[in-house]
Structure 1
Amino acid sequence: MIQSLCSLVSVTIDDQLIEFDTSTLFSETILSEQTFNATVEALQDQFTQTTAKSFQISLNSLSNIAQDNQITNRLETDTHLAYIYYEFFYDNFVYYEPLSVSSGSRTYDNHTCLCSKSPYCKTMTGIYDAYAGQYPAPFGVINSIQGNLIFPVPGVNVGCTVLQAVLQSDLQCFYNRSCLSQLNSYLNDSPYPFYAKPLQVTSSLSPATIGSLVNSLMVDNWTLTASYSSYFDTCHPSQCKYVYVEKFHIIYTITTTVGFIGGIVTILMILMLPVVTFIRKRSVKPQSLTTIG
């Protein structure tokens, strides 16, 4: 299951990177190097958060579908099969005639957590002195694997669904040399020998739960390489024009003074012209005409 999760995470990241590589950075003006680096950092944070959220939604959807439809896994960690028999006696012997088969929900945590109600029921797994057995139930006889716990394996869970049991595991035993050595001793004689060395705590998240690692996409550190020089070479303007006005230069001073005086003269002419016209009209007196006859 852990290998499958790693593969799914890898595929998800690769797909998101392909989409990210096709995106384009738009800006109205050329960005400064400081602004460019801040923008790249923000894009990286957005990418990691979006990718992690997308993967979490996919996992939760699978878990919800299995739980809502009560899909039984082939390991039967969520259900147990019950064979309903007809019991009869013959020649002082008891015989069982199978009538039908039904399934019931398994319980965990001292029968306080029912798989039909929650997919998160779990218990610590371990090495058992197991044997196949049957025990009676009101609705028939239940076949089960029974036995005594010989060696518990800390940090490795079994539960209603393999996925949720693994996500809630933190693999504590695999970081402990003594625990791992003892586990190896029990599994060496099994049909599936197990040889392993203790894991090294190299991640800042270890030994966290597998669920925590999956939520971070099993990535301890993201590094996004961006080149400001490449960005500038691609996006720099073809021409740059600017005007610089030098103040208090002799030519600038003369030009400004002349312009200022000329502006005042123009304003005075505009204002005084109506006044002069009015005064002239008032100064002209009408002449008297004398008629001789």
Structure 2
Amino acid sequence: MHATSPVEYRTHRIKKTFTIIGLIIFILSLAFPAYLIKVSVTNPINTIVKTNVTENHSQTAHVATPSLTTYSQLQTSYPETVHCSCTQTSISYSSFLGIRHKLHEICSSEFISQEWISYLSSNQFPVLSNDFRAISPMLFKALRSLCEVSQQMVHHNIMQFLSNEYVSTSVTPANLFHVQIQTRLDQLRSAMSESFSLTFSMIRETIQANALFSGLGTNFQLSVENNNVSTVPLLYNGCSCALSSKCITPAAIYNSTNSEILFVVPGFYKGCYVMESLLQSDLRCFYNQTCLDKLSSYYSLPTKFHVLNEANLNMFSINSTIADLLRRLMIEEQEMILSYENYYNRCSPSACSYSFQEPYMYEKVEIVRAETHLAHLIGTVIGIIGGTIAILHILMSTLIKLMI
């Protein structure tokens, strides 16, 4: 057996001593973490965390007796929340609205004037009963009547509409206000047209249902045979006036001697009734100077009349029938004169309120529960133990080397 040398014995003793010392230090180093874990388990403590948080806070402001300029600014800046209560909730339309209308040019032309009708009536030559010259005075008298009825009805309905009241408990924004008024005017035009069409249709159907005689004898003729009087319906292009009041044929000027057609009047018709013929006619000839001069040449007076101006047409065309014109009550143009300022002044809001978002900073307090704190503590202890072992390993190795 090999004998242990003094050096080896001394080295062995040093290593053993430092191992015991390191073990003691390691055990002592565990005492403090163990104590912390014990305290955390037996006396759990929630941790309070405080942070500063900024949020938007809704605020409401009020403006007394705002002017229109102030309201417009508020409406631009706070369109969703501004509210202004009206002191006057019912406001007459006439206080802020004006309506101008213009009928078709024929209604202001010389072609429905007494001068023109007298010119048509003063023909000095014998004409056939179906000649345009025989029925033209009645055609233009009927056209003048339609213009007058349209003008009266439109004027009456507009005055009635303007006498009504616009009701709003709060100020209506300008853009919405314009849309509302325009919509109500459109409804007014539609109601006027429907009312007129219904009344006019009832009159026409009543005349047809009762088979009333035309004053010009254009729908029925009387026939006397064996002292018996009977009526014979006239035909227009194969259409019998006994079956329909709308039978028509193109209007023409004839040679009174041999019934030869001299001139077919463009756009005009003759038929069972003057009114029914007129409704299906149009005014194209009166937009053409050549046509008008040709027509005038078959009348006895050489009076010069001027054609209608096509540039004045807006809603209609030169081929629009008189029935087309009547569906819109002959309204060619209608202008809305709207004053939002007058409406606002009549509404006269006493105050406006609006809401806005304002930054608001406050301290937010959060509580971290003990379970979360304990888990963090255990992780820390494990880290301490690992670090202690590493330090002791390095320290012991170094000291042993120095002392050997």
Q: TM-score, normalised by structure 1?
A: 0.70
The equivalent of 1:267 in structure 2 is none
The equivalent of 2:168 in structure 1 is 27
Specify the SS of the correspondent of 2:360. Answer: coil
Question: Relative to 1, partners in 2 of residues 1:100 and 1:245: Cα closer, same or farther, differing over 3 Å?
Answer: closer
Q: How far does residue 244 in structure 1 lie from its aligned partner after superposition?
A: 6.2
Deviations 1:197-238 (A, max 9, x none): 222212131211111111111111211111111111111322
Matches within 5 A, 1:240-279: 240-241=352-353, 246-248=358-360, 253=362
Q: How far does residue 186 in structure 1 lie from its aligned partner after superposition?
A: 0.9
CA distance in 1, matches of 2:313, 2:216: 32
1:203 aligns with 2:331: no
- Select which of 331, 335, 341 maps to 1:219: 331
CA distance in 1, matches of 2:177, 2:183: 10
CA distance in 2, matches of 1:77, 1:25: 51
1:172 aligns with 2:300: no
1:114 aligns with 2:255: no
Q: Percent identity?
A: 28
The equivalent of 1:95 in structure 2 is none
CA distance in 2, matches of 1:217, 1:81: 37
Q: How far does residue 195 in structure 1 lie from its aligned partner after superposition?
A: 4.4
Does the Cα contact within 8 Å between 1:154 and 1:172 map onto a contact in 2? Answer: yes
Question: Aligned residue pairs: how many?
Answer: 223
1:78 aligns with 2:219: yes
Specify the SS of the correspondent of 1:16. Answer: helix
1:129 aligns with 2:129: no
CA distance in 2, matches of 1:158, 1:187: 18
CA distance in 2, matches of 1:68, 1:81: 19
Q: How far does residue 58 in structure 1 lie from its aligned partner after superposition?
A: 1.6
Deviations 1:25-67 (A, max 9, x none): 1124211001001101101111111111111112111100100
Specify the SS of the correspondent of 1:38. Answer: helix
Counterpart residue identity of residue 102, structure 1? S
CA distance in 2, matches of 1:33, 1:213: 34
Q: How far does residue 243 in structure 1 lie from its aligned partner after superposition?
A: 6.7
The equivalent of 1:135 in structure 2 is none
The equivalent of 2:46 in structure 1 is none
Question: Relative to 1, partners in 2 of residues 1:31 and 1:184: Cα closer, same or farther, differing over 3 Å?
Answer: same
Does the Cα contact within 8 Å between 1:187 and 1:194 map onto a contact in 2? Answer: no
The equivalent of 1:234 in structure 2 is 346
Which structure's CA Rg is the greater one? 2
Does the Cα contact within 8 Å between 1:166 and 1:210 map onto a contact in 2? Answer: yes
Question: Relative to 1, partners in 2 of residues 1:238 and 1:129: Cα closer, same or farther, differing over 3 Å?
Answer: same
Q: TM-score, normalised by structure 2?
A: 0.51
CA distance in 1, matches of 2:236, 2:357: 83
Question: Relative to 1, partners in 2 of residues 1:102 and 1:148: Cα closer, same or farther, differing over 3 Å?
Answer: farther
Does the Cα contact within 8 Å between 1:67 and 1:119 map onto a contact in 2? Answer: yes
Counterpart residue identity of residue 247, structure 2? C
Question: Relative to 1, partners in 2 of residues 1:224 and 1:243: Cα closer, same or farther, differing over 3 Å?
Answer: closer
Counterpart residue identity of residue 17, structure 1? I
Structure 1, unpaired ranges of 5+: 87-98, 132-145, 262-293
CA distance in 1, matches of 2:261, 2:354: 83
Question: Which structure is richer in relative contact order (CA contacts within 8 A, separation 6 or more)?
Answer: 2
CA distance in 2, matches of 1:37, 1:245: 30
Specify the SS of the correspondent of 1:220. Answer: strand
Structure 2, unpaired ranges of 5+: 1-141, 367-404
RMSD over aligned Cα atoms: 2.4
- Select which of 170, 175, 182 maps to 2:294: 182
Counterpart residue identity of residue 53, structure 1? E
Specify the SS of the correspondent of 2:306. Answer: coil
Specify the SS of the correspondent of 2:260. Answer: strand
Specify the SS of the correspondent of 2:204. Answer: helix
Q: How far does residue 241 in structure 1 lie from its aligned partner after superposition?
A: 4.4
The equivalent of 2:232 in structure 1 is 104
Judge which range, 60-69 or 236-245, deviates more.
Answer: 236-245
